[in-house]
Amino acid sequence: MTESQKSRRVMDRLRVPPVKWQEVFEAVAAEDRTGFVRDLEALAERATRMAAYFNRRHLGNDHAAAVRKSNSAGTAVRRALGFSYPKQDITF
């Protein structure tokens, strides 16, 4: 499966309402669940970081301030997901 197909599959599953999550869980093969969890966690972190960055820029902040906010949001989501390894600040 290509990265594009994998990303599409994750996005399609995210569109499923929570009431049907049990069906989605059961449809994911047991050997694929760990990878699916990893993909969802990575997506959550990236989406949170990008949302924080775009929001700061939209509010008139410069790039550097938006990056700091993105890093702060990234730390918060990593903590919420239970990651215990060091924060992953982005510098760009």
For 31-50, write each residue's pLDDT tens digit.
999 999 999 998 999 999 99
> What does DSSP assign to residue 31?
G
Average pLDDT, the chain: 91
Residue from 7, 4, 92 nearest 47 by CA: 7
Say which amino acid occupies 7. Answer: S
Which ranges of 15-92 would DSSP assign to H, the alpha helix?
21-27, 33-58, 63-80
Q: Which pair of structure tokens corresponds to residue 2?
A: 């290509």
Better pLDDT: 90 or 61: 61
Q: Which pair of structure tokens corresponds to residue 60?
A: 């008139």
Q: What is d(CA 57, CA 6) in angstroms, rounded to the nearest whole number?
A: 30
pTM here?
0.81
For the chain, percent of residues with pLDDT exceeding 90: 74
